[in-house]
């Protein structure tokens, strides 16, 4: 008698062959893996949750935004920075090895082709990760995206070619002024909006650290432009079960929204990042 196997949903539970692991800039890696389901069905803003080893250290999976997909060649990419044990192990994996992940998970950026004229994508640091898949999706809907991209210093930029070759105009900011606008990318956005005769039809799509997203929301309000933000929190499960990934909802009564299932993308005025 052949062994009994559990019937699992193969659209959400994956073991995919790693095709490439490449260090793009110091400590920032792109990992490409074969997966035709993801290559076809991932939405911009969605993420996958990866088990980096078969051990209990680290115990949890690690979440990463889907960075780029190619439905012709059946692969998907993530882009990640090595910051701790999980990402370190990930960076040491080799082509041919198998990537254990679940996903695509979470909601996605909402694109409204009718009301939207211009999409400003605002990325801080590794917040660049979901912007490429988003840019490609916007272009497909014939919305012209522009990228505003801030990092601390020039050497931290990555994937610029990918945006430029897609025809996406890129505006850079560095905190130390080593390239582009000197200062925070939020200031760059604000000055851009300030200079616009009208902000109607502009929407912001953003991903980055909370200290960047918080002022961005304020700016969006000030110029009356819709602003979607993709958030990062600790995640114990990624599927809505552990209740570990909450952010405060922006309302009087205390309420939490859960980033893994109700997000990671929120309207900036749905949430309260102020503490």
Partner 1 sequence: MSDLKVNIGNLTLKNPVLTASGTFGYGEEFSSFFDINDLGGIITKTITLKPRVGNPFPRIAETPSGMLNSIGLANVGVDAFISEKMPFLKTLNTAVIVNVAGNTVEEYVELISKLEDSDAEFDGYEINVSCPNVKEGGVLFGSNYNITAEITRKIRKATQRCVIIKLTPNVTSIGDVAAAVEQAGADSVSLINTLIGMAIDVDTRRPKIACITGGLSGPAIKPVALAKVFEVSKRVNIPIIGIGGIMNYQDALEFMMAGATAIEVGTANFIDPAISSTIVANLHNYCISHNIRHVREIVSSIIA
Ligand X SMILES: Cc1cc2nc3c(=O)[nH]c(=O)nc-3n(C[C@H](O)[C@H](O)[C@H](O)COP(=O)(O)OP(=O)(O)OC[C@H]3O[C@@H](n4cnc5c(N)ncnc54)[C@H](O)[C@@H]3O)c2cc1C
Helices marked H in 92-184: 131-140, 160-165
Tell me which stretch binds partner 1 (CB under 8 A): 20-28, 162-170, 190-198, 238-246. 238-246
Which of 162, 167, 161 has its CA nearest to residue 142?
Answer: 167
SS3 for 234?
A: coil
96 is an interface residue for a copy of itself by CB under 8 A? no
Q: Of 246-265, which residues contact ligand X (CB under 6 A)?
A: 264
254 is an interface residue for partner 1 by CB under 8 A? yes
65 is an interface residue for ligand X by CB under 6 A? yes
Beta carbon nearer to partner 1, 2 or 165: 2
Minimum Å distance from CB 93 to a copy of itself?
Answer: 12
Could you tell me the end-to-end alpha-carbon distance of the chain, in angstroms, rounded to an integer?
59
* Of the candidate residues 226, 244, 267, 272, the single one contacting partner 1 (CB under 8 A): 244
57 is an interface residue for partner 1 by CB under 8 A? yes
256 is an interface residue for ligand FES by CB under 6 A? no
Exposure pattern of 53-68 as b/e (b: 16+ CB <10 Å)? eeeeeeebbbbbbbbb
Beta carbon nearer to partner 1, 50 or 133: 50
Residue 14's φ and ψ, nearest 5 degrees, are -130, 150
Tell me which stretch binds ligand FES (CB under 6 A): 37-45, 163-171, 187-195, 240-248. 240-248
Q: Of 6-25, which residues contact partner 1 (CB under 8 A)?
A: 6-9, 12-13
Give CA–CA dist 117/201, Å, rounded: 5
Strands 202-207, 118-124: pairing kind: parallel
Tell me which stretch binds ligand X (CB under 6 A): 140-148, 182-190, 218-226, 231-239. 231-239
94 is an interface residue for a copy of itself by CB under 8 A? no
Give CA–CA dist 35/21, Å, rounded: 15
165 is an interface residue for partner 1 by CB under 8 A? no
Task: Please state, as a whole number, how many other Cβ atoms lie within 10 Å of the Cβ of residue 19.
Answer: 18
Exposure pattern of 198-231 as b/e (b: 16+ CB <10 Å)? ebeebbbbbbbebebbbebbebbeebebbbbbbb
Minimum Å distance from CB 184 to ligand X?
Answer: 19
Tell me the two tokens of residue 225: 């432009």
Give CA–CA dist 129/126, Å, rounded: 6
Query: Which residues form the interface with a copy of itself (CB under 8 A)?
Result: 55-57
Query: Which residues form the interface with ligand X (CB under 6 A)?
Result: 47, 58, 62-65, 78-81, 83-87, 126, 129, 232-235, 264
Query: Which residues form the interface with ligand FES (CB under 6 A)?
Result: 235-238, 240-245, 258, 260
């Amino acid at each position: 008698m052949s062994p009994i196997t559990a019937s699992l949903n193969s659209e959400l539970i994956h073991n995919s062959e790693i095709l490439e692991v490449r260090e793009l800039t110091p400590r920032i890696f792109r990992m490409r893996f074969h997966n035709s389901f993801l290559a076809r069905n991932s939405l911009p803003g969605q993420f996958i949750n990866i088990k980096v080893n078969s051990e209990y250290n680290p115990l949890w999976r690690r979440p990463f935004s889907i960075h780029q997909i190619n439905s012709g060649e059946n692969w998907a990419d993530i882009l990640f920075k090595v910051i701790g044990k999980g990402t370190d192990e990930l960076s040491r994996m080799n082509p041919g090895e198998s990537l254990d992940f679940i996903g695509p998970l979470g909601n996605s950026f909402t694109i409204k082709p009718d009301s939207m004229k211009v999409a400003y994508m605002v990325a801080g640091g590794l917040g660049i990760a979901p912007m490429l898949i988003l840019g490609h999706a916007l272009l497909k809907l014939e919305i012209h995206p522009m990228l505003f991209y801030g990092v601390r210093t020039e050497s931290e930029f990555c994937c610029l070619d990918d945006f430029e070759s897609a025809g996406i105009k890129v505006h850079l900011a560095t905190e130390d002024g080593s390239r582009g606008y000197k200062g925070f990318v939020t200031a760059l956005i604000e000055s851009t909006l300030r200079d616009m005769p009208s902000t109607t039809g502009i929407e912001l799509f953003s991903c980055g650290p909370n200290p960047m997203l918080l002022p961005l929301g304020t700016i969006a309000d000030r110029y009356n432009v819709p602003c979607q933000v993709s958030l990062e929190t600790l995640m114990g499960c990624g599927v809505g079960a552990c209740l570990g990934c909450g952010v405060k909802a922006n309302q009087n009564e205390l309420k939490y929204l859960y980033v893994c299932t109700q997000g990671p993308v929120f309207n900036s005025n749905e949430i309260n990042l102020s503490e």
